Amino acid sequence: MRISCANLGSILPIVLAACVSETVPSGPVLSSTALLNNGNGVVLTVQGAGAVDLSAANAGEADFQFIAHKKANGSVWGHFRQSRSTAAGTVDFEGVVTCLTIDPNFPGRARIGGRVTANNSTNPAFLTTNHEVGDDVWFRVQDGGVGGDANDRSTTYGFKPTLVDTSEQYCALPFDGLPWWNPASIFPLARGTISVND
């Protein structure tokens, strides 16, 4: 769903109500004071909560929540979490946003990069030196619009050396073409919503 930041305050209660689910990871989803303060220089807000349908990858669902803001001066802030169960154990990461980009030529697409603040995983494949607190992590999302045919999408989290080595390099990647925007690695939501508001 694409809306301007100026109109976000009036629909925030509706968005929050729509995103509530017992399976969404605990913790804060949105910073309402930051969202409602239109005078703080925010030019971009990307947010979402729900579950990503990973059945096409034989991986069930991944519960997620995130919010990322960008000011006109380029500064960014926000947080994110994604958790999923695998045969080898849980994959569960939390982090803070360090970069956020969109491309006006591809409305609704956003790249979010950050730094791991908690790795609660039990799956050994996600307990390596590339998955430690302080390491870079990234994902991309697509706001599919409004209404019954909306198709919001998200990836799982990426870590070095998937495409790049840092979050900043990831945020600088193109928004179209393989391998940078691979449609096979961005999955529809099972429930919830994603919004890109610029």
pLDDT in tens, 162-190: 899 999 999 999 999 999 999 999 999 99
Residue 58: count of CB within 10 angstroms of its CB? 8
Q: Cβ of 177: how many Cβ atoms within 10 Å? A: 9
Q: Which two tokens stand for residue 128?
A: 């390596």
For the chain, give every domain's residue range: 5-197
Mean pLDDT for the chain overall: 84
pLDDT (0 to 100) of residue 24: 40
Cα separation, 151 vs 87, whole angstroms = 28
Q: How far apart are CA 128 and CA 152, in angstroms?
A: 31
95 forms beta bridges with 80, 116
Cross-strand bridge partners of residue 48: 66, 194
Mean pLDDT of 125-145: 97
Residues 6+ away with beta carbon under 8 Å from 180: 163, 173, 174
| Cβ atoms of residues 117 and 97 within 8 Å | no
89-107: average pLDDT: 97
pLDDT at 194: 97
Percent over 90 (pLDDT), the chain: 73
pLDDT in tens, 20-78: 333 444 444 444 434 444 557 999 999 999 999 999 888 889 999 999 999 999 999 99
Q: What is the pLDDT of residue 146?
A: 73
What is the C-alpha to C-alpha distance for residues 22 and 19, in angstroms, rounded to an integer?
10
CB atoms inside a 10 Å sphere around CB 132 = 11
Q: Which two tokens stand for residue 69?
A: 């803001």
Of 51, 165, 191, 62, the C-alpha closest to 123 is 62
